[in-house]
Structure 1
Amino acid sequence: MMKNQETKKRPVVALTGASGYIGHHLVNKLTEHADVVALSRNINNKQDTAQVTWRSCDLFSMSDAEKALEGVDFAVYLVHSMKPSAKLTQGSFENMDVILADNFAQAAKKQRLKQIVYLSGIIPENEKLSRHLSSRLEVENILRAYGTPVTTIRAGLIVGPKGSSFPILKKLVKRLPVMVLPKWTRTKTHPIALPDVLTALDKSIGNQTLSNRAIDIGGPEIMSYKEMMRQTTEVMGLRRKMINVPFLTVKLSRLWVSLTTNSPKEMVYPLIESLTHPMTAKPEHMDEEISFGKITFKQSVHQTLQEEKQNAKERKSVMKPNAPSIQQDVRSVQRIPLPAGKDADWVSNYYMIWLHQLIHPFLKIEVDETNEYSIQTRLLSLPLLTFRYSEDRSTVNRSLYYITGGAFENKAENKRGRLEFRRIPHSDECIVAIHDYLPSLPWFIYRYTQAKAHLWVMYQFHKHLMKLEVHPPNNPILVTTET
């Protein structure tokens, strides 16, 4: 080959949430100029192409995240954990998102990624943020915590099929001939069409002028939610009577919206709580090249409805795959305070000592020379649960224990069960999480006994840490010798 005929190597972009509604569309756009590593928890029905390689990845696992980002130059982070991630999920979406973002950011550092592009929401200034927006901002800060350059694209309501906010609005318009509109429906927002969001994400990859910046994006119009409903009815060819009321609160609204649209409250509640904020792009946070969407709201609604019709036709012509078997797994995640000057390694050791004292005199905790901890009955010394400390996967900011046995564990099925203590970057808080735990008890009994007991224990531990003095005990050691 002649020197002047050498081809330039295409960048490799990892795309989280590649099977989601934004990720699915973004894959096609990225392959025009890059090779894509498409990440998803389930890739059974996915096929690789010349430009797309599918990798199975559970981002709750740091080792999975590290393997997923091997050989990657850039990454697009589209993850959000509003939906349950296990058969029994105990914990808030905010705490789930901490783990996902922290695993991803640490893996990006290890694999030396050049940039993470993160899709977030517009953050109002000088206001107390909703849980949803607070979580979006916390995730942004965690992604930045390990040194990889991060470009955050902040959007308001994204108009597209299979999303979160717009499908809810469309269902309200379709199902309610008379619409009672509370005060929050007059709040201003900045809707943007899905194609404009895809363009902003695509143009951000490798764009060094946007490194470590947060960019607001929006469509050509700023309008209220009421106006969006009105225009949606026009596009759908419907007539709806709209009545303004001053008394329907956000708490009542979220219940009303969930019931009316038949949407899960885990998704609806955080979104409705955010609607009290004016979600408009701010000029000082906008970029000339990527911030200004071109598609009007009416055009975007029309395009979305057309795409939904086409998708419905395609679904009818394709046989549905067999549903995967449901694993009876558990994920339980809680946030606890971290005493001054202490780290995750300290709090994990202290937890074992505290738990040993809490369960006395009925149970006990013993630890052997291999760092395996065993929760046992006192009379028979029957192990109920055993945990082995993973020294090679732990740091001062993350202590990891693999669940290795005991009467309460499903020995035949357990492969990845683990307990971890993780410090949230740049904070005085810690996450305690159980992942992929498979109990041996019958499911109904487990849910209302062992699962409830774990939540009670974590609540008590949280209270205990709050009461600790500013200088808690140093170097805790679990004493197992019986007196």
Structure 2
Amino acid sequence: MSRALVTGATGHIGSLLVPQLLDRGYAVRVLTRSASGLPAEWKERVEVVEGDAGEARDLERALADVDVAYYLIHSMDGQGDFVERDRRLAEAFGSAAKEAGVGRIVYLSGLHPDGELSSHLASRVEVGEILMASGVPTAVVQAATVIGAGSASFEMLRYLTARLPAMVAPKWLDNQIQPIGVDDVLHYLVGAADLPSEVNRTFDVGGPDVLTFREMMHGFAEVTGLRRRLIVTVPVMTPQLASHWVGLVTPVDAGVARPLVGSLVHDVVCQESDLAELVGEPAGGPTPFRTAVRRAMVGEEPDPKHIIPVAGATLAGLGLLAGVTAWLRSRR
């Protein structure tokens, strides 16, 4: 029986990946700082190593006799320099995996264009490069916005749409995005474990729809029975300003929202579909955006706290005031 290590098992993707691997017949081990945070649905079915991914001894215990290691760690928590922390963690993990004789690393990264990137995407790219250079065959699975309840980027989309019937937003809200349903992401992550040993590269994955964030908001509203949103874009509103706006309107912490919002300044569209050719497409084919939203919202209200439209309009007005003020200052 093959053994898989899952790091980040208490996170959105990790907690969903574990049962998928168990169902595929893997013996699953998880590395976590606290076993108490693991989902009860599968906690008793896995081997738990309590420890820190930054500690060599904990990595040694976690990686012993592992065939495939899933690296689902990132430090994008609003606490200090996440770029440097992610660099150190990736270097330590890659080195420990090589020493332990791990057969493959699978890392979930961010879909990105060529050229200069936001700090968030640039850090994801760097982590992938570090792991691919570790000497352990690595599959870097690159996805844009993941559509699934609990995904930070989806929660940002959900609450902005639900709470703001009218809003002022940055002009880059009309950049192109290729979102992907969480079930499709899990399919590709599981499939990547069985890639031939000579495969050491990045893979782009995405759904069948290429949309703007504006179109995604309209689509979310349509699926959940909300009326169409009024969205006006302005030529200013920096990612820093927009992230504070997102932090005010949604449950996503501003420190987490800042790098997420920063990544929206890019078009993020798949350049290839090689992983689908190697491991096959998800059952039934790639999941359309609206179908993924519908699945994510089963049993859910668009906004559980039922923020009233007046509050949304007020916050949108504040966003307009901030954006126009910044624009006027830039014209002086």
Cα displacement string for residues 20-42 of structure 1 (whole angstroms, at most 9, x for unaligned residues)? 11111111110122111022111
Q: Of 220, 224, 230, which aligns to 1:241?
A: 230
Change (3 A) 1:156 1:45: closer
CA RMSD for the aligned pairs? 2.1
Q: Taking structure 2 as the reference length, what is the TM-score of the superposition?
A: 0.83
Moved over 6 A (4+): 47-50
In structure 2, the CA distance between the partners of 1:307 and 1:142, relative to structure 1 (3 Å rule), is farther
Q: Is the 8 A contact 1:218 1:291 kept in 2?
A: no
**Partner in structure 1 of residue 295 of structure 2:** 303
Matched letter for residue 37 of structure 1: R
1:29 equivalent in alignment to 2:23: no
Higher radius of gyration, 1 or 2: 1
Indicate conservation of the 8 Å contact 1:187/1:275, yes or no: yes
Q: Which residue does 2:257 correspond to in 1?
A: 268
**1:96 corresponding residue in structure 2:** 85
Match of 2:212 in 1: 224
Question: Aligned residue for 2:315?
Answer: none
Q: Which residue of 1 aligns with 2:286?
A: 294
Name the SS for the 2:75 alignment partner. coil
2:271 paired residue among 272, 275, 282 = 282
More contact order relative to length (CA 8 Å, sep ≥ 6): 2
SS state at 1:44 partner = helix
Q: Structure 1 counterpart of 2:138, which letter?
A: V
* 1:71 equivalent in structure 2: 65
Of 35, 42, 45, the residue aligned with 2:34 is 42
CA offset at residue 291 of structure 1? 7.8
Larger strand percent: 1
CA distance in 2: counterparts of 1:291 and 1:222, whole angstroms: 21
Identity %: 37
The answer to whether the aligner puts 1:131 opposite 2:119 as a matched pair is yes
Give the deviation of 1:289 after TM superposition.
4.3
Q: CA deviation at 1:167?
A: 0.3
Aligned to 2:5: 14
> CA 1:210–1:204 in 2, change beyond 3 Å: closer, same or farther?
farther
Unaligned runs of 5+ in 1: 1-9, 313-483
Structure whose residues are more often helix by fraction? 2
Cα 1:30/1:307, change in 2 over 3 Å: farther
Letter in 1 for 2:153: S
Paired positions, count: 295
Instruction: Show the counterpart of 1:369.
Output: none
Secondary structure of the corresponding residue to residue 141 of structure 2: strand
Instruction: State the match for 1:354 in structure 2.
Output: none
Judge conservation of contact 2:137–2:198 (CA < 8 Å) in 1: no
CA distance in 1, matches of 2:187, 2:221: 27
- Deviation larger for 181-190 or 299-308: 299-308
**Separation (CA, whole Å) in 2 of partners of 1:138 and 1:249:** 24
Equivalence map 1:231-380=2 (5 Å): 231-239=219-227, 240-283=229-272, 287-290=276-279, 294-306=286-298, 308=300
**Secondary structure of 2:139's aligned partner:** strand
| Closer, same or farther: CA 56–45 of 1 in aligned 2, 3 Å | same
Where do residues 104-115 of structure 1 align in structure 2 (5 Å cutoff)?
A: 104-115=93-104
Runs of 5+ consecutive residues of structure 2 not aligned to the other structure:
305-332
Check 1:50–1:269 CA distance in 2 against 1; reply closer, same or farther (3 A cut).
closer
Offset at residue 51 of structure 1 (A): 4.7
